[in-house]
Amino acid sequence: MLTGHPFDDLKTVLDQLPEADTCAAKKVAEALKAKPLPEASGIGGMLTWLAHWQGKAAPAVKETHICILASSYEGQDSASVLNYIEATSKGGAAVNLLCVDKGIGLRAIQLAPEMPHVVDGGWEASDCMASVAFGMEATASGGDILGLTDMAPGNDVYALAMVIGILGYEVVAASAIAEDEAILDAAEALVGNGSYEPLEAMRQLGGREIAASVGAIIAARSRRLPVVAEGWAAIAAVAVLEAHAKGTTDHVLAASYDTSMQEAIWRSLGKKPLVGFPVGAGAGCGVALAISHLSAASALLGLRDHKA
């Protein structure tokens, strides 16, 4: 029953998310015993993960889509966001080449990038929830896997502030290097001395693409759609959802990282990035590479049984 309080209603949805399909995963595990794998391996883990969340004894990586959540912040170059989205629509971004090569669909959801978001703690819960709901549209294309990324220059500060506000400074401090100091200082200044309830951190410290990432991840879980994610918005969204209830993002796999701090935060959230090096080729490229890994792994289930 809806209460009329946006975050209470969201919590109700979170409490009703489906669990992993352990029967499908067991069937995949049995099938892999006859394949040329010397023991339970990383590839086997990828396939059982897919089976858990697709709910299929023969998980597929045939129809996949990457969604770019585009937003902007006050003081950042919103024109660069619009230019990037236009480039992707014309096939002119690096991610387009990877998607065409691997048969991956690509779409962008624009969260009013022409109207920069102001992070001042005054974002109304109803407006924040509107972004969450908008992000749920990322799953509209269905398919076998949802790739999730963002284009929102400057959101590293806000995502870090959310991680610090929810999980504490020590989560990021150990991975910081000299180049990170300005970002960390800005994030700490936003957080102040307090700690935040997860959804309040999203409202007070985050922006539209982070809230939309929360919505996309929730909708994907509801639809048994595994998520392969990269970027600061996804990191912040996973931090919010895991802090609310551990295991809420078990259907999310970290695709890649661009900095050592991103890698450290992913690992602190229990997610080792599948692509084990900084990709640095633009939004969505790490996701496309990770999906390619999963596609190659799924081919194992199509091999003829191995006889010793």
pLDDT value of position 168: 84
What distances in angstroms separate CA 179 from CA 176, 234, 260, 261, one per listed residue?
Answer: 8, 22, 11, 10
Q: Collect the ranges in the chain with pLDDT lower than 70.
A: 1-4, 36-41, 174-179, 302-308
Question: Residue 129 belongs to a domain with what CATH number?
Answer: 3.40.50.10210
Compute the C-alpha angle 81/238/277, nearest 5°.
70
Answer whether residue 306 is part of any domain: no
pLDDT value of position 305: 45
pLDDT value of position 113: 95
Compute the C-alpha angle 224/28/270, nearest 5°.
60
Answer whether residue 27 is part of any domain: no
pLDDT value of position 170: 78
* Token duo for residue 262: 């991103």
- Give per-residue pLDDT as tens, 231-275: 999 999 999 999 999 999 999 999 999 988 899 899 999 999 999
Helix (H, G, I), strand (E, B) or coil at 226: coil
* Token duo for residue 306: 């191995």
pLDDT value of position 308: 38
Answer whether residue 58 is part of any domain: no
Answer whether residue 45 is part of any domain: no
* Token duo for residue 137: 């549209």
* CB-neighbour burial class of residue 127 (10 A; exposed 0-12, middle 13-18, buried 19+): middle
Q: Which domain holds residue 93?
A: 63-294
Structurally, the chain folds into a number of domains equal to 1
Answer whether residue 34 is part of any domain: no
Distance between CA 23 and CA 21 in Å, rounded?
A: 6
Answer whether residue 30 is part of any domain: no
Answer whether residue 38 is part of any domain: no
Find, among 268, 274, 236, 238, the residue nearest to 254 by Cα: 274
What distances in angstroms separate CA 203 from CA 165, 208, 308, one per listed residue?
Answer: 12, 9, 57
Answer whether residue 302 is part of any domain: no
